[in-house]
């Protein structure tokens, strides 16, 4: 055991800003749980990296990997296989018109990179708008459109990138008479600022329908349509990044369905492979044709790989056959009710928000002032892990510790109850060490 951590410290590049790894050696995972080298069972409330929507080692996925790896795993990027074409067709069938052209890639950053590249080529423009608390990936264009962290020390971002205020109903910056978020005035202000700086070359707005790394912030009803209109008025395309919200997690197949707004380009990733590296860019035939006519190039090592495409087809099979959109809606309502019950017991819980099984729980030192409780969030996360629950807390300036709670869509009520029980105990044990503000 000691050798493992010595080797990890000596040889691994620390790839998160905090530089910390979870202090457990994970040996295996199954369903909603991961198992450590010393025999402990941890309930996984983040679905791995917010991806394993079918739980870990789902039997259907395991069977597909074994079968596909033994027959056809990887090809020259210009070759096609049946799993790739089948998955493209099925994704198109799951989406409203005119979304029907599909590019299969590996990660969310890669899919956002391709989408932004396509938008710039098709529009002949270069400016990109995203939220001030956005996260779209770590490659060039995706990182340039990411503002929640990771911007310092790397030199200038791609020219033409602009951040607009993130609508946060819990912490409103523009308020109506009743104190609620006045998102229309906020959005008008955002584009007044953009127009003052723009050279008239907007290529795209890229956003998440629910900002996850930004603190699980759901866009107010009506906001997405208004943003689309402002983007289109300026000649730009609307790109929706549904890395975490796509494929049933929010209770709908796609989060944008709630608003009835169809993006010009849609990107999928994490949930599409249910934990394996699979992503997609989906757009209209018109946009694809224009991109092709202008020489669109996104030729990567693992574009259209058959192994992960076969897994993607299996993921769709399970989502459809087990009616997991409906299950996510029902389990999400059950979990939010349980979390609101905890809020009645623990004053440090300031807000419970989200859709389906993507839920944010924000900790504060004082409910009236909403003073952030960063240290408390870190301590609760640590105590939850000790008690057998893996949680993820987002800590951004001017916000409290926000737990991103995203269990597998295959979770049971008993597993959700276990998570609530452990979180309740952790809060009860840790909070007294962090007195509330008065």
**Token duo for residue 125:** 């423009």
Q: Do 376 and 366 form a contact (C-beta atoms < 8 A)?
A: no
> Of the candidates 427, 233, 287, 416, which has an alpha carbon nearest to the alpha carbon of residue 349?
427
391/44 Cα distance (integer angstroms):
7
Whether 244 is catalytic: yes
**Torsion angle, CA of 44/48/51/54, rounded to 10 degrees?**
-50
Whether 208 is catalytic: yes
- Write down the catalytic residue from 44, 135, 218, 259: 135
**Token duo for residue 252:** 């709908």
Q: Is 97 left (phi over 0), alpha (psi -120 to 50) or beta?
A: beta
- Write down the catalytic residue from 117, 355, 404, 415: 404
- Write down the catalytic residue from 127, 208, 259, 305: 208
Q: Do 329 and 106 form a contact (C-beta atoms < 8 A)?
A: no
Q: Do 4 and 387 form a contact (C-beta atoms < 8 A)?
A: no
- Write down the catalytic residue from 270, 336, 353, 355: 270
- Write down the catalytic residue from 186, 244, 327, 395: 244
**Token duo for residue 10:** 């000596």
Alpha helices in 209-323 (DSSP H): 223-233, 285-293, 306-321
**Number of helices and strands in the chain (H, E):** 13, 18
Q: Work out whether the CA dihedral 283, 110, 137, 311 comes out positive or negative.
A: positive
Whether 270 is catalytic: yes
How large is the angle between the packed helices 59-69 and 306-321, nearest 10 degrees? 150
Whether 404 is catalytic: yes
| Maximum Cα–Cα distance across the chain | 65
Whether 382 is catalytic: no
- Write down the catalytic residue from 241, 264, 351, 362: 241
CB atoms within 10 A of CB 189: 15
Long-range contacts, 122-125 (Cβ 8 Å, 24+): 122/237, 122/287, 122/290, 122/291, 122/294, 123/202, 123/203, 123/204, 123/235, 123/236, 123/237, 125/201, 125/202, 125/203, 125/235, 125/236
What is the DSSP track for 1-43? Answer: -HHHHHHHHHH----STT----SS-EEEEEBTEEEETTS-EEE
> Of the candidates 399, 422, 411, which has an alpha carbon nearest to the alpha carbon of residue 353?
399
Q: Catalytic residue numbers? A: 135, 208, 241, 244, 270, 404
């Amino acid at each position: 055991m000691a050798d493992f951590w010595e080797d990890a410290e000596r040889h691994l590049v620390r790839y998160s800003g905090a530089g910390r790894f979870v202090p457990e050696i994970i040996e295996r995972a199954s369903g909603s749980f991961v198992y450590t080298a010393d025999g402990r069972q941890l309930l996984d409330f983040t679905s791995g990296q917010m991806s394993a929507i079918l739980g870990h080692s789902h039997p259907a996925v395991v069977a597909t990997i074994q079968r596909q790896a033994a027959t056809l795993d990887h090809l020259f990027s210009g070759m096609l296989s049946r799993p790739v074409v089948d998955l493209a067709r099925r994704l198109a069938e799951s989406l409203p018109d005119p979304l029907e052209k599909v590019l299969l890639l590996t990660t969310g950053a890669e899919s956002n990179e391709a989408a932004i590249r396509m938008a710039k080529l098709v529009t002949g423009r270069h400016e990109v708008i995203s939220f001030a608390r956005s996260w779209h990936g770590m490659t060039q264009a995706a990182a340039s459109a990411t503002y929640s962290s990771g911007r310092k020390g790397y030199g200038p971002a791609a020219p033409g990138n602009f951040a607009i205020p993130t609508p946060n109903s819990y912490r409103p910056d523009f308020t109506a008479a009743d104190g609620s978020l006045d998102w229309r005035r906020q959005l008008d202000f955002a584009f007044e600022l953009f127009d003052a700086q723009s050279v008239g070359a907007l290529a795209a707005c890229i956003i998440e329908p629910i900002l996850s790394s930004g603190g699980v912030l759901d866009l107010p009803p009506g906001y997405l349509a208004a943003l689309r209109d402002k983007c289109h008025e300026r000649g730009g395309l609307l790109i929706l990044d549904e890395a975490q919200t796509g494929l049933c997690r929010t209770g709908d197949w796609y989060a944008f369905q709630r608003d009835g707004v169809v993006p010009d380009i849609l990107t999928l990733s994490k949930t599409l492979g249910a934990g394996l590296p699979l992503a997609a860019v989906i757009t209209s035939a018109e946009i694809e044709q224009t991109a092709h006519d202008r020489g669109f190039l996104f030729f990567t090592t693992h574009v259209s790989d058959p192994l992960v495409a076969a897994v993607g087809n299996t993921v769709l099979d399970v989502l459809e056959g087990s009616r997991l959109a409906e299950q996510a809606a029902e389990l999400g309502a059950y979990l939010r009710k349980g979390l609101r019950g905890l809020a009645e017991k623990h004053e440090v819980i300031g807000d419970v928000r989200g859709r389906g099984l993507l839920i944010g729980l924000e900790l504060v030192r004082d409910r009236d002032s909403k003073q952030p409780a960063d240290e408390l969030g870190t301590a609760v996360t640590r105590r939850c892990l000790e008690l057998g629950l893996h949680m993820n807390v987002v800590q951004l300036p001017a916000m409290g510790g926000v737990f991103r709670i995203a269990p597998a869509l295959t979770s049971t009520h008993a597993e959700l109850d276990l998570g609530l029980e452990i979180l309740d105990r952790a809060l009860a044990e840790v909070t007294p060490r962090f007195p509330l503000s008065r």
